[in-house]
Amino acid sequence: MDHQPHSTDEEKEIQKDYSDYFLAPKFKGTRFEQHGIPFSFLKDLEHIEKTLFEAIKAFYLEDTKKKRLPFNLEQSVSLVLKGIDKGSAVALIQAERPYSATPVDPIVKPLLDRAKNGMISVVKATQDPTISDDDIAKLLPPKALEMLSRFGKGFGENEQLDFTHGPRKKPVVFNKKTQEKLTQVFVKTSRESFKEIILRGGIYEVSQTQKCFYIKPLKGAAIKCALKRNINDPVTEALRHYLDGEKVKICGVARLKHGHIKEVIEVMSISPLKPRDIGQRLFELRNRKKGWLGPDSIPPSESGLDWLVEQFDKYYPENLPLPYLAPSETNGIIAEWPIGENEASVEFFFETRKGEWLGYRDDFENDDCKELDFNLPDSWFWLVDEIKEMERVASK
């Protein structure tokens, strides 16, 4: 009598050898119990292919020291779902030349294997608490890691994927926690973030096919911006007047890396720069040298000018009159608002981020001077109210 327990179907599947396949990840969880993979999950699988492609591209450039990829590299390989095996569901994935079902180019094959091993190593490393985020990030090129961090968002709580199931192999499990961990690793190591920004510059190129345009900001390198139908007209108009020196102001959401704008992923508004635009004017003042106004005079600092642009963009409403700006002899900026018959000014001191309001009221009992701490939003609100009041007085 055989006292050995009977093997279940699943256990039998575990013993199967899938080494003929490029990948045979095993899905577990309610949705995969019937040995199938829901359509909704197939889109998610695409991120595996994108991860490998990004890794291949980075490895190729790294190995060859070239700056450009061969034009057909991405077209030389394709991941194909050849079938679904039991257990719960094992996706049988082959790497092939597209449309030919023939083996991958021998030049690409080692890169592809390296990419696969890198991907599996990353997943394995996320399960080891002793491995730091920085060390995990070193296992795959950044763009590949970014793609992998997008995989698995569709996993339910009890669902998972095992990359290397089978005899004598320690499971390399990818589940919701893995996805969250990879996102954390990617965000932390890439120092990538998203932020609402304002950019000023000239639009010098538009690509309708790639749905993007390029802006040369007042300061720094050109930046790619997403082009959508709703901003097509102002973008085209700005492009037409680029050679006349026309500049625009763009409000949008940017992807930043290490604190620098990499691209604008959404443009919320675009308009030609107004006369006396704060960013433009303060940019003009940034190259003053020591002695700009006689011996020992020090020009406003770049960091101070950047700060002031940022503060005006943040707190000063678009519809209020813009001040005339000039450097001050205290290394800051004097802003003057001539409104109607009156004139008020603020001198901004960059070292302390404070300022001094000299108002327009000839009221000696209530001296119309005020020291303001522009580190505090309240000071900006107060200033905005005063300018509104000046407008009201002028309109009487």
Interface residues toward another protein, by CB under 8 A: 275-276, 281, 285, 288, 292-294, 296-297, 324-330, 334, 336, 338, 343, 345, 356, 358-359, 364, 367-371
Helix (H, G, I), strand (E, B) or coil at 382: helix
Residue 377 CB, nearest approach to another protein (Å): 23
Residue 387 CB, nearest approach to another protein (Å): 17
Give the residue with the Cβ less far from another protein, 10 or 373. Answer: 373
Q: Yes or no: say if 208 and 182 are a contact pair by the CB < 8 Å rule.
A: no
How far apart, in whole angstroms, are the C-alpha atoms of residue 47 and residue 92? Answer: 16
Q: Give the strands of the sheet with 89-96, arranged side by side.
A: 78-86, 89-96, 26-28, 160-162, 173-175
Q: Which H or E run includes 13?
A: helix 9-14
Residue 312 CB, nearest approach to another protein (Å): 15
Give the residue with the Cβ less far from another protein, 214 or 292. Answer: 292
CA dihedral (48, 51, 57, 62) in degrees, to 10, reads -130
Query: Cβ of 297: how many Cβ atoms within 10 Å?
Result: 16
Give the residue with the Cβ less far from another protein, 10 or 371. Answer: 371
Own/partner pairs for 253-260, CB < 8 Å, 24+ apart?
Answer: 253/194, 253/195, 253/196, 253/197, 254/194, 254/195, 254/196, 254/197, 254/199, 254/223, 255/192, 255/193, 255/194, 256/192, 256/193, 256/194, 256/195, 257/190, 257/191, 257/192, 258/191, 259/191
Using alpha carbons only, how large is the chain's radius of gyration in Å? 30
Give the residue with the Cβ less far from another protein, 266 or 368. Answer: 368
Give the residue with the Cβ less far from another protein, 70 or 291. Answer: 291
Buried b (16+ CB within 10 A) or exposed e, 154-179: bbeeebbbbbbbbeeeeebbbbbebb
How far apart, in whole angstroms, are the C-alpha atoms of residue 92 and residue 74? Answer: 21
Give the residue with the Cβ less far from another protein, 33 or 284. Answer: 284
Q: Yes or no: say if 144 and 52 are a contact pair by the CB < 8 Å rule.
A: yes
Give the residue with the Cβ less far from another protein, 197 or 285. Answer: 285
Residue 310 CB, nearest approach to another protein (Å): 20
How far apart, in whole angstroms, are the C-alpha atoms of residue 183 and residue 328? Answer: 47
Residue 150 CB, nearest approach to another protein (Å): 48
H/E/C letters for each residue in 197-223?
Answer: EEEEEEEEEEECCCCEEEEEECCCCCE
How far apart, in whole angstroms, are the C-alpha atoms of residue 182 and residue 78? Answer: 24
Residue 369 CB, nearest approach to another protein (Å): 4
Residue 358 CB, nearest approach to another protein (Å): 5
Give the residue with the Cβ less far from another protein, 26 or 281. Answer: 281
Q: Based on DSSP, count helices (H) and strands (E) in the chain, helices before strands.
A: 10, 15
Give the residue with the Cβ less far from another protein, 192 or 368. Answer: 368
Give the residue with the Cβ less far from another protein, 168 or 289. Answer: 289
Residue 360 CB, nearest approach to another protein (Å): 10
Residue 278 CB, nearest approach to another protein (Å): 11
Enumerate the β-bridge partners of residue 260.
257
Residue 252 CB, nearest approach to another protein (Å): 27
